[in-house]
Amino acid sequence: MTRSHVVFDVGLYRRLAEELVRDGDVVVEVGAAAGDTTVRLAERAGLVIAFEKSREMFEILRERVEGLDNVVALNEDGFEIGEVLRRTEDVDVVFIDVGGGAQPRLPLALWEAYFRVFEPREIVVRNRRLCRLLGTVEFVEEV
């Protein structure tokens, strides 16, 4: 059973990276940027697969995680789930931050893609508009 967490504050997002990962977990991070969350995920994870699609940010990320042998940094789009499947069949935790102000359809589509393929234990999404929507939810029909 997957537990989802939706946040906007980047400090909270990074704190969840420290709190939700268990020893040996396989973690996927989409939108790793300069690696501030990546290094936190790597503290306990057995493997972190970190996607960063911007070439400039990826170069910073690569230097940041150079000494961490449990981090695979990829200069790819996070929708390239085949890159994950080539390395592992199981994913325990997924962190998605393609920008806190991004159109919600992007993190939603990423949430669905990773949920359908891996059913991870935890999925964390950073997006302001999804926070707004979910903050108003009164009733959810079980489907």
Q: Are 136 and 106 in contact (CB under 8 A)?
A: no
Report how far residue 129's alpha carbon sits from residue 2's, in angstroms, rounded to the nearest whole number. Answer: 21
- Residue number of the CB atom closest to ligand SAM: 31
Interface with ligand SAM includes 53 (CB under 6 A)?
yes
Neighbours of 25 (CB within 10 A): 20
Q: Which of 4, 60, 77, 131 binds ligand SAM (CB under 6 A)?
A: 77
Q: Which is nearer to ligand SAM, 79 or 115 (CB)?
A: 79
Shortest distance, position 31 Cβ to ligand SAM, whole Å: 3
Shortest distance, position 105 Cβ to ligand SAM, whole Å: 12
Task: Please report, as residue ranges, which positions from 1 to 20 form the binding site for ligand SAM (by CB under 6 A).
Answer: 10, 14
Q: In 1-141, where do the E strands start and end? A: 3-7, 26-30, 47-51, 71-74, 93-96, 122-126
Tokens of residue 141, six digits: 């029909």
Per-position x/- string for 118-137, each x denoting binding to ligand SAM as judged by CB under 6 A, each - no binding: --------------------
- Residue 34 is classified by DSSP as T
Shortest distance, position 3 Cβ to ligand SAM, whole Å: 19
- Residue 78 is classified by DSSP as T
Interface with ligand SAM includes 59 (CB under 6 A)?
no
Helix/strand/coil for 140:
coil
Residues that bind ligand SAM (CB under 6 A): 10, 14, 30-31, 33-34, 36-37, 51-54, 57, 77-79, 97-99
